[in-house]
Amino acid sequence: MDKGREDADAEALSKNILIKRGHLNSDGTATAEGHRRGNMTASERAIDRAVKRSGGISDYYEYNPKTNYASKLTGKGVWKKKENL
C-alpha cells in the first residue's frame, strides 16, 4: 500500500507471495510452515532468513532490532557462537 497500490491489490499480492512460499494454502489458511513462522519472533525470522541466505547455524548470527537484520558473528576469519563472546 505504501507504493500506491489499492488495499485489495496489496492484499492479493501479499497472499500470492505467501502461497508461493508455502506459508498459506490457496484458500487463505495457514500451512504448517505458516504456523511455525507465525509463532517466531522478529529476531528468529531474521536469523532464519540469514541462515538460509548465508548458511551456517543460527548460533552464529546476531539480530539487530533497528535494522531487522541478522548478521554473522565473526572473529579472525572464524565464526563465533553467541555464547562464546
54 and 22 in one domain?
A: no
What pLDDT sits at residue 8? Answer: 82
pTM above threshold 0.85: no
Q: Are residues 35 and 20 in the same domain?
A: yes
The DSSP output letter for 4 is S
> Which three three-digit cell numbers place residue 24?
498459506
Tens digit of each residue's pLDDT (9 = 90 or more) over 25-84: 999 999 999 999 999 999 999 999 999 998 888 988 999 999 999 998 875 555 566 665
At a CB cut-off of 8 Å and minimum separation 6, what does 34 contact?
18, 22, 23, 24
Same domain, 49 and 84: yes
Q: Note down the domain range covering 35.
A: 1-39
Helix residue ranges, H only, 2-72: 7-21, 32-38, 42-54
Number of domains present in the structure of the chain:
2
The pLDDT assigned to 39 comes to 96
Same domain, 34 and 54: no
Report which of 85, 56, 57, 61 is spatially closest to residue 73, judged by C-alpha positions.
Answer: 61
For the segment 10-28, what is each residue's pLDDT rounded down to a tens digit?
Answer: 888 999 999 999 999 999 9
